[in-house]
Amino acid sequence: MQMCEPHYAALRTEIENQGMASMIPETAEQARASVITALEEAQTGVQEGPFDPLLTAVFQIYGNAVRTGGLYLLAGDYCPLCEVRKHVPAAENNADALWISGCVTAIAEHVRENGLLKPPN
Ligand SMILES: [Zn+2]
């Protein structure tokens, strides 16, 4: 599974629009460290590193896509949001946008409730 560039950009924009731009890692090195920390935290159940809303959103969308669409998504370079758009009836063909906004809104609530917002640099 691999999120396409347009959907990744839309997800990042939604996170920025919901006030969490300062929490997104600025460099590839920071992003890589964020992934490693998140995987370690998933094993221990203890959150120690800075919260990364973009990585969290990507993981949540991947998980929801597999639960909704099935394991075939893991067997190729499918973009989970393109697949949602492909498989949801035409009348509701903004499902990908709804997944993005719903996911990011839930993450923003989590950030507010837990006081995780990092002040801008
Ligand atoms: Zn896509």
Which contacts qualify for 29-34: CB closer than 8 Å, 24 or more apart? 31/55
pLDDT tens-digit map of 6-51: 999 999 999 999 999 999 998 888 888 888 888 888 888 887 778 8
Q: How far is the CA of 78 from the centre of ligand 1 (A)?
A: 8
Going from the Cα of 6 to the center of ligand 1, the distance in angstroms, rounded, reads 6
Q: Which among 25, 50, 62 is positioned nearest to 114, based on CA atoms?
A: 50
pTM, full prediction: 0.85
Identify the domain containing residue 87 by its residue range.
5-113
Distance between CA atoms of 78 and 93, rounded to whole angstroms?
18
Q: Alpha helices of 3-120 — where are they, by DSSP H?
A: 5-17, 28-44, 53-69, 80-87, 95-113
**Domain presence at residue 34:** yes
Count of domains in the chain? 1
d(CA 81, ligand 1 centre) in Å: 5
Measured in Å, residue 85 CA sits from the centre of ligand 1 at 8
Decide if 63 is inside a domain.
yes
Structural domain contains residue 105: yes
Quick check: helix, strand or coil at residue 19? coil
Closest CA to 119 of 15, 20, 46: 20
Q: How far apart are CA 27 and CA 33, in angstroms?
A: 10
Residue 103 counted as domain residue? yes
Mean pLDDT of the chain: 90
Position 74 in a domain: yes
